[in-house]
């Protein structure tokens, strides 16, 4: 045998051959080890860090706040508390509807604490400021309680995702459907900030495109207690519809105070609110809000799947979720799926995977993520029921019409996002 080996493999060549064999074996082992390495090896800092930036103490506390935090915790729990073997850590901060505080918190999270994804960021001014801060940092930021379409228009960013609320979609549901239904003349009562200005402009275009016209507008400051003067001015204009272009406590006060207007309380004038939540209706009481027209992206009693998830939420909070709170769950759930599928928490990588993966959860229907960062989904024109029609707790609304995603949202080509190829 030794002689046979000697003839086939001369002794002087054995060391070189053995070295080659060892190198080949070592390279093969490394290749196998790398291919078998868990995707979690590319998760920064060994964990997925989630920052929830909400309003816990100001005018949007009721529609965001602790409910959004509960929805975020449910998303973490339903993901098993980890992604690709790495733990998920959730931190929650209150920006109190203060833009400076929102930006300072986001900067600390991104620059010092390694937060990978920020969610909610309720209120348009805060959202636009955080979008600019994050533009060069590249974390994923979800905007759930924001109406302005600038986030996916002129102010779009590669990793900024507008997930739930949307001024254009809601104004389409309200402006188009009600104008075509006979409300030809409109009067606005608008909060004087970027949200109010942006949404009023969008709603005006929708009304005009559907054969209606705006005959006037009255503005009020954020947090203004008395709005009856503006509401009376709107009612005396003779408009078929009064549009409340405000949100949170401002909108709740406006609806309550508008009930003293006979044309509204008797149903002679349509009252519509572009930015409402289920919590708002609960606060203003159905007897004062009955007949109010509104648009939502989610309703807890829409179907069995939504109802089952909402009952879980209610067991923890004592209330049914509104659409922006439910949107926090939906956004983070899809984010965790994308991190798991891509094996990375790098913002651009995760967003690319989020566009590839189908969006399906108890919250949204007919949904997809566009190139401009807008998640499009079905939207609902709704109406507040009369008190006698409410037979189970929290079932305050009826769906009048479902507006399919592709009809509800501003067309991609018209959005003005510089990132979208013409």
* pLDDT on residue 335: 98
How large is the C-alpha radius of gyration of the chain? 27
Closest C-alpha among 385, 144, 169 to residue 295: 169
Structure letter (DSSP) for residue 411: P
* pLDDT on residue 188: 97
* pLDDT on residue 26: 37
Spatial distance between the Cα atoms of 242 and 228, rounded to a whole number of angstroms: 13
Sign of CA dihedral 276, 280, 282, 288: negative
CATH number attached to the domain at 168-300+381-406: 3.40.50.2300
Sign of CA dihedral 67, 72, 73, 75: positive
Domain with CATH 3.40.50.2300 in the chain: 46-165+302-377, 168-300+381-406
* Whether 250 contacts 225, CB under 8 Å: no
**Low pLDDT (below 50) residues in the chain:** 1-41
* pLDDT on residue 41: 47
* pLDDT on residue 60: 87
Domain 46-165+302-377 is in which class? alpha beta
Q: Calculate the alpha carbon distances from 93 to 55, 127, 144, 282 in Å.
A: 8, 14, 15, 25
* pLDDT on residue 199: 85
Owner of token pair 């405000």:
246
* pLDDT on residue 165: 86
Structure letter (DSSP) for residue 40: G
* pLDDT on residue 422: 59
The predicted-structure confidence for 202-251, as pLDDT tens digits, reads as follows 899 999 999 999 999 999 999 999 999 999 999 999 999 999 999 888 99
What is the pTM assigned to this prediction? 0.84
Structure letter (DSSP) for residue 385: P
The predicted-structure confidence for 26-56, as pLDDT tens digits, reads as follows 333 333 333 333 433 489 999 999 999 999 9
* pLDDT on residue 124: 87
């Amino acid at each position: 045998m030794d002689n046979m080996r000697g003839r086939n493999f001369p002794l002087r060549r054995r060391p070189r051959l053995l070295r080659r064999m060892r190198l080949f074996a070592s390279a093969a082992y490394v290749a196998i080890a790398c291919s078998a390495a868990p995707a979690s090896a590319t998760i920064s800092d060994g964990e997925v860090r989630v920052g929830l930036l909400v309003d816990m103490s100001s005018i949007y506390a009721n529609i965001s706040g602790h409910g959004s935090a509960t929805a975020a915790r449910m998303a973490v729990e339903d993901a098993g508390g980890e992604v690709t073997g790495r733990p998920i850590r959730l931190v929650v901060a209150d920006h109190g509807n203060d833009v400076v505080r929102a930006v300072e918190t986001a900067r600390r999270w991104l620059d010092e604490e390694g937060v990978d994804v920020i969610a909610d960021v309720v209120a348009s001014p805060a959202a636009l400021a955080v979008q600019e801060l994050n533009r060069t940092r590249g974390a994923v930021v979800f905007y759930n309680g924001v109406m302005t379409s600038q986030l996916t228009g002129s102010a779009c960013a590669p990793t900024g995702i507008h997930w739930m609320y949307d001024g254009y979609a809601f104004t389409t549901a309200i402006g188009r459907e009600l104008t075509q239904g006979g409300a030809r003349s409109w009067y606005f009562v608008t909060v004087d900030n970027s949200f109010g200005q942006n949404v009023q402009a969008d709603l005006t275009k929708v009304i005009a495109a559907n054969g209606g016209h705006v005959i006037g507008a009255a503005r009020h400051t954020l947090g203004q207690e008395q709005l009856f003067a503006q509401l009376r001015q709107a009612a005396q204009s003779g408009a078929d519809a009064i549009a409340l272009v405000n949100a949170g406590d401002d909108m709740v006060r406006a609806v309550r105070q508008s009930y003293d207007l006979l044309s509204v309380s008797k149903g002679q004038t349509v009252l519509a609110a572009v930015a409402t939540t289920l919590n708002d209706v609960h606060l203003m009481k159905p007897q004062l809000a009955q007949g109010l027209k509104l648009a939502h992206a989610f309703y807890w009693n829409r179907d069995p799947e939504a109802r089952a998830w909402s009952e879980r939420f209610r067991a923890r909070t004592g209330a049914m979720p509104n659409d922006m709170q439910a949107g926090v769950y939906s956004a983070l759930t899809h984010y965790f799926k994308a991190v798991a599928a891509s094996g990375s928490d790098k913002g651009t990588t995760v967003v690319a995977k989020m566009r590839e993966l189908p969006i399906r959860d108890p919250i949204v229907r007919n949904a997809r993520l566009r190139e401009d960062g807008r998640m499009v989904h079905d939207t609902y024109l709704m109406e507040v029921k009369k008190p006698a029609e409410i037979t189970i707790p929290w079932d305050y609304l009826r769906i009048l019409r479902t507006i399919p995603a592709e009809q509800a949202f501003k067309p991609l080509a018209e959005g003005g996002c510089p990132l979208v190829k013409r």
